[in-house]
Structure 1
């Protein structure tokens, strides 16, 4: 630990030496002063700037190139006007183009930013960290995003109601936007002073020009905006929207003889309501009753042999919107105090393994009885969020072997509460915040394996100085979970904690405990902008008793990670490249007993060439790799040294046809393990209204010592591993056809196959041995046998002619196919009709087959589950 801290100190001193050589470019801030149109007049949004109300607004021009040649004059000029009335902000833009027939007008669905476009970013909070973005393409396709983290996060799930149109003429193209003040957030004051940026993409040159010049070495995006003034006496518009929905759904699937719950077809009629109520102009209450799961795109296929849970992105609109306010990623990766997919999760109790059960109708998700979300940001710099949700008791319908019916509880009534607050200060250069979550379950005796209650709290902060070029940030979290002795013992033994590790002196399983309390956090210092150098260094920790998985996401505990990174940016275009970056990283890992578990050194580079082709390359060396989790409660395990590398390159993404090729190779000493990945992706758009994209991946992951099982053998525990030959193949296909900006057809399909066959079974003899051949002992042919082709393995370890224990056959072949065909029509702003056809099949193939044969038999040759649904929404603005 001391050596790593010393390394970080030396590393930072060298960084200071290098960064002192950076020279900063001073850029003046621009200001646009708008004026109102006369009362009673309005502007017709048709993309043609001929309404007389535009005559009183002043043109602003003087755009400069953001990239590639930062600060240069653009190839084509741009100018804009802004005016307003008591309810709307109007923006008119003239995008000059000396060759109008080369303007790229690609049709796509909303939020697909293709072709030539113009974008306005408005920081109406004027907090220099968040903004509202409105985008329109030359084809009239609209896009909108909520921007946070000073431009590091762009959330396209935000879907406000606004109006826009575009028109191509002999001078280029023009665009008009009409944005209701109710869709923006701002405080009440005589004059509104907002941050402003206009951003144009000239597609054929891949040139980005902007109104307010921003240096490519700036520490952020929003903090560098110009200023919009002149918005006088605007009354905040309270938002009041109600959006009911109706879903008609027909499911068909292969009939199972004798199973009353799988008779071949089901029909469902569902409905619900979403509402958005502006309590003030900057604080909103969102309500949902029986939210719809029908439009959630299928999660990608995945399989995890290490026992850890898999993270999937949230896609439900209620939870996605304003998620930046509730976000509390405290330790890097996906670890987060709030993981909204816990709400409405799949039931956690299975009743299909009872002896008297013949058939079960198990619910897929827990029903959300209702949810409310209060969120927003005030003009004084307070960001606040409060989310409350209740999921109901969920029952599986069971038919027993005698034909009787009963309901079995599989998920209890649960209440989820999340509260979040942040406060800006120091002229918006710093903030401090906190979060609190509570999960409470009403547990009957059959559900006492679940935790009864879980509470988490956290504090976070960030301080920027020297024009935001330098920062210091951090957070600390704490958790407290309670439950029955069984629930808490299961928590201690779970993959996240593994207190039963036989060689751990600092943790142990206590079967009498009814609570656990833990902490975690992160501290980081770095340089985010100014010149061509960047760096960061920090430490992350997760104590052994930390537990967040009731309403958060936590993969593993008992870890202290120290890391450092330095980057060199090449931002000035040359005859070879438009931009380039190089990065060096170092990371070391310890547990709370002080064991030095890992060290990694990594190099990465990326380059965007002059012709917009690109390359990404990386390599890493891991001379020390120990794991506390590989043997699932067994002793600390050493992996052999690893060398890792990857290479990706691709063509110009603007072209009608573009591709990506990728290769990943990881090799361990003595061929302990290996990982190979081959990636091929392409996009093809033969004409403006249609596009096709394909992403295909093939992986091989052989390993001499993959964990299989642990078995009691006399007074000892045998940790059994084996050589695995694992292969995985997946291909996702997406088609998009847009009849117009508001009517489109999309198709998504993905087959996923993963096979693993195990050979050369062995058991752990010295888990910490550096030599893999001393780490395990292989069973001899006399010790292991397999009487049945598809049965398990019988072990006669002491060779006395009696079977000592049995190993179940671990071979697998997991096969999945999912597809969606969706017609989407936004028949009026904010209101939509969906026609959906979904197909899916999940099953097991034969591990001895080839991947292609399983694809043919288990996907192409299988009858699939089908879902046909019609969903209609209407958004009332009251």
Structure 2
């Protein structure tokens, strides 16, 4: 491990004074003082003619934030705020000398297109979190929960509030009515909240704000002005109950003889979602038998490296307020909590005899789930999630005789998250605990009986949040049968069986594993044009999170450093220029130096709002412990890659972006080429059409295929692969009004891989590519069509030593969703959904487009017709 320490220490000791220490300017906090509504509350119609608005003063003098920070905006904006016992009222006047040019594009909720205004409220006054309410000139409303001092905006938060807009001769106006029950605040005689009002002037792509926030500020929420005058408002304890009813009709190709695939199915289902305000700070969300039928399908993907694929969460119950439970302890997608584990595909599969058919459940049923979350006025952030998934049985039919086999046990999932702010909100310390407990029965002993994870994290800011140090640590413990723990040791995440590893080995008698991981980082987050950070990440070989978290690979120590530059004013023909240099290196816990990479990238945004992204990297050292799936470390040849993307003005009705990634390894070890783009056309304010094609070409001389036994010697088989992938995401949106819309999503996907020139590994870490393997000669390998396998005769003596299955593949898939959504009253919705899908395996000798034609256009698809009705009771 000593070989790891010196580069880590060197890069962590970057002197803070080493980069352009511009002194930050202290911006005075603006204060708006509100007042009680006098007389009758205003009618929310977008017209500011109610007498009650005379009880408060206008606030104005907005300042430009982008592109030219701290300059007068093209058009001024002003606002008023008042309140009564239950609501906060906001009036906004957006002046515009040319009202006919105001852009009023329609979209679904949270579609921020066209001119808009928004109010951000830090009602906790913790200078890290806030609530954002936005309305466009077309009346489309958006709402987001802000966290991490503006680094995360969660659009899944959907409170009930009211707004209207109106265009007149002076520009346009907006009125908002926000229930106190939708906000979180402490109980005090007089409240002081953080406040920001922002406007987007669409024609010039200009942002202006009430409280000036310099572009080099270390955050967003921490820089807000203040709202005073809220006196004796009572916390509102909300109670919302939302029952739903779903009818679903499925059609699919009939399979002769299979009683479970007779061509169609019909189901009727129901459940309840609810929200209870335990206090005004803390909320209990619960769901009983949730339905996710209107959720967009996951994109198609193939992983030739064998690792699990990360899919983003799209289910409403788990998406809402997900930031509270988030615990990214390392880099990439590694997280202590990955909600897609709850309701996962059953992990068991029944043993079938010849002639038997099976009805295998697609997902585990979530019997119920509850979230208790919020933040107190004393700075405590609390999140507790509890969920139970039921037993899942596969039903097997054998000539009319039926039996069931358990494929997923009754499972309880628990997540607890806690954080505390102090030091005038400049510091927080937090922790997380997760537990997964399964009631194992029958043939499911290959699963973990229990899995526990605990973690501690912190962040400290100083010098007006310009500098920071943060870190976390995670510890995991899993329990199970000898079979389950042995399988974990042998899994791709761990690979204790690796033949050249001296620090790990498989112990078949173990019934538990305990591991650790974590991250330490310091950096400069604000003030001036330079930013930098450096840190270290580790994951011990025994760390295991995948029962309720996401962990791609254990047994790694990573050091990293980044330096970033960004302009804060327009320069010449550019609105903004930014660039970054980054470096990282990795080791395993045996001290092997596995990887080092240097990368530069930049972004240019022109005055006409066109943009260019570009970058390049050099990888002089690439060793991969997992490549041979338990075999020795594998060396890839030195690699260089680069990319470039450009895009047109995103405000235009016809807009596009295109780019290319190109990577090449020394001695033609491998090549990677990706071309992707997007074309969007908006013929009217209500309609938008887009297509995003992508093509990958990835030939590789040393693609892993399989392992074979040759008289007690393990052969690690590689092949020369020609891999091509073509896909396209197609979207159509038509918005009749902000509450009624039609959306279509479709994605054809085809990936073909053809192998040749098979070989086996001889010296996996040789400098020269050709010294790493021996390629079979024509008289040593032959193809057997009957078994679709390759027969290997290493000595060409007529005796087959071993065989390998034909690894060629042609995977074709099409998925689509057509959704009509009608929010007929605030918080209550009707969904009409048509989902369609086709999955097939084409001819590997066909080209990509022919495979699409044969397997998508030429096959009967599976269809799902669904109607979901919800009604939200607010009590």
Give the TM-score band, short-chain normalised: over 0.9
Question: What's the CA shift for 1:791?
Answer: 1.1
Q: Alignment partner of 2:771: what SS?
A: helix
Match of 2:24 in 1: 24
SS state of the match for residue 156, structure 2?
Answer: coil
| Poorly superposed stretches of 4+, deviation over 2 Å | 1-21, 353-357
CA–CA distance in 2 between the matches of 1:852 and 1:21? 56
User: Shift of the alpha carbon at 1:465?
Assistant: 0.3
Equivalent residues of 2:147, 2:323 under 8 A apart: yes
Q: SS of the counterpart of 1:513?
A: coil
Counterparts of 1:575 and 1:88, CA distance in 2: 47
Q: Is the 8 A contact 2:437 2:450 kept in 1?
A: yes
From 524, 538, 546, the equivalent of 1:541 is: 538
Q: Find the counterpart in structure 2 of residue 399 from structure 1.
A: 397
Matched, 1:728 2:742: no
Indicate the residue corresponding to 1:470 in structure 2. Answer: 467
Aligned match of 1:766: 763
Q: What is the match of residue 772 of structure 2? A: 775
Which secondary structure state, in structure 2, belongs to the residue aligned with residue 604 of structure 1? strand
Look up the match of 1:381: 379
Deviation string 1:811-851 (CA, Å, 9 cap, x unpaired) is 00111100111111000000000111110011111111000
1:72 matched to which residue of 2? Answer: 71
Deviation (angstroms), 1:656: 0.6
Q: Does 1:112 align with 2:111?
A: yes
Match of 1:584 among 564, 581, 586: 581
| Distance in 1, Cα, partners of 2:136 & 2:37 | 26
Distance 2:167 2:778 in 1: 78
Partner of 1:519: 516
Higher alpha-carbon deviation: 780-789 or 321-330: 780-789
Does the CA-based 8 Å contact 1:4-1:588 persist in structure 2? no
- After the TM superposition, which residues 382-461 of structure 1 pair with which residues of structure 2 at under 5 Å, given as runs? 382-400=380-398, 402-461=399-458
Provide the secondary structure at the position in 1 that maps to 2:160.
Answer: coil
- Shift of the alpha carbon at 1:576? 1.1
Shift of 1:13: 6.2
The CA distance in 2 between the partners of 1:488 and 1:8, in whole Å, is 33
Counting only pairs closer than 5 Å after superposition, residues 160-179 of structure 1 correspond to structure 2 as: 160-179=159-178
**Aligned-partner SS, 2:356:** strand
Q: Structure 1 residues 443 and 191, CA, compared in 2 at 3 Å: closer, same or farther? A: same
Match of 1:369 in 2: 367
CA distance in 1, matches of 2:272, 2:283: 16
TM-score (norm 2): 0.99
User: How many residue pairs get matched?
Assistant: 875
- Alignment partner of 1:696 out of 693, 698, 709: 693
Task: Give the equivalent residue in structure 2 for 1:552.
Answer: 549
Aligned counterpart, 1:200: 199
Contact 1:558 1:591 in 2 (8 A): yes
SS of the equivalent of 1:786 reads strand
Q: Deviations over 1:653-704 (max 9, x none)?
A: 0001111011000100001011100011111111100001111100011100
Q: Which residue of 2 aligns with 1:350?
A: 349
- Deviation of the 1:355 alpha carbon: 2.4
In structure 1, what is the Cα distance between the partners aligned to 2:366 and 2:13? Answer: 53
- Secondary structure of 2:306's aligned partner: coil
Please name the residue that 2:325 is paired with: 326
Matched, 1:862 2:864: no
1:845 aligned residue (842, 859, 863): 842
Q: Is structure 2 residue 679 aligned with structure 1 residue 687?
A: no
Q: 1-side partners of 2:77 and 2:124: how far apart?
A: 26
2:656 equivalent in structure 1: 659
Give the C-alpha shift of residue 25 in structure 1. Answer: 2.2
**How far did residue 403 of structure 1 move?**
3.1
**Deviation (angstroms), 1:608:** 0.7
State the distance in 1 between where 2:864 and 2:126 align: 46
Aligned counterparts, 1:489-500, within 5 A: 489-500=486-497
TM-align CA RMSD: 1.2
SS in structure 1 at match of 2:667: helix
Render the CA deviation track for 1:64-119: whole Å, top value 9, x for unaligned: 00000000000001000000000000000000000111100001110000000000
Contact kept in structure 1, 2:406 and 2:442, CA below 8 Å: no
The whole-number CA distance in structure 2 between the counterparts of 1:786 and 1:12 is: 55
Does structure 1 residue 803 correspond to structure 2 residue 796? no
Q: Which runs of 5+ in 2 are unaligned?
A: none
Question: Offset at 1:572?
Answer: 1.3
Q: Distance in 1 between matches of 2:215 and 2:5?
A: 32
Distance 1:27 1:783 in 2: 77
- Once the two structures are TM-superposed, the CA of residue 792 in structure 1 deviates from its matched residue by 0.7
- Who is 2:55 aligned against? 56
Deviations 1:139-159 (A, max 9, x none): 000000111110011111100
Aligned partner of residue 296 in structure 2, secondary structure: coil
Alpha-carbon deviations, 1:578-605, whole Å to 9, x = none?
1111110010000000000000000010
- Residues of 1 paired with 2:514 and 2:46: CA distance? 60
Match of 2:617 in 1: 620
Which residue of structure 2 aligns with residue 93 of structure 1?
92
1:755 aligns with 2:756: no
Aligned match of 1:785 = 782
Contact 2:4 2:587 in 1 (8 A): no
Which residue among 818, 821, 824 is the counterpart of 2:821?
824
CA displacement, residues 636-669 of structure 1 (integer Å, 9 cap, x when unaligned): 1100000011000110000011110110001000
Partners of 1:339 and 1:60 in 2: how far apart? Answer: 44
CA offset digits 1:610-650 (Å, max 9, x no partner): 11000000000000000100000000110000001100011
8 Å CA contact 1:414, 1:442 repeated in 2: yes
Contact 1:488–1:513 under 8 Å retained in 2: yes
Q: CA deviation at 1:26?
A: 2.3
Q: Classify the secondary structure of the residue corresponding to 1:782.
A: helix
* Contact 1:437–1:456 (8 Å) recurs in 2: yes
Indicate the SS of the match to 2:784: coil
Judged with a 3 Å threshold, the aligned counterparts in structure 2 of structure 1 residues 747 and 278 are, in CA distance, closer, same or farther, namely same
SS in 2 for 1:612: coil
- Alignment partners' CA distance in 1, 2:355 and 2:640: 51
Distance across 2 between alignment mates of 1:203 and 1:6 = 51
**Structure 1 position 799, deviation (Å):** 2.0
The answer as to whether partners of 1:15 and 1:535 remain within 8 angstroms in 2 is no
Shift of 1:315: 1.0
Separation (CA, whole Å) in 1 of partners of 2:719 and 2:495: 22
1:741 aligns with 2:738: yes
Residue 282 of structure 2 corresponds to residue 283 of structure 1: yes
- Find the residue that maps to 1:349 and give its secondary structure: coil
Q: What is residue 255 of structure 2 aligned with on the other side?
A: 256
Deviation at 1:16?
3.1
1:33 aligns with 2:30: no
Q: Cα gap change, 1:5/1:33 in structure 2, threshold over 3 Å: closer, same or farther?
A: farther
Say if 1:357 and 1:398, in contact at 8 Å, map to a contact too: no
Please tell me whether the aligned partners of residues 195 and 225 of structure 1 are also in contact (alpha carbons under 8 angstroms): yes
Q: Distance between the aligned counterparts of 2:512 and 2:535, measured in 1? A: 31
- TM-superposed CA distance for 1:57, in Å, is 1.1
User: Which of 356, 359, 366 does residue 357 from structure 2 map onto?
Assistant: 359
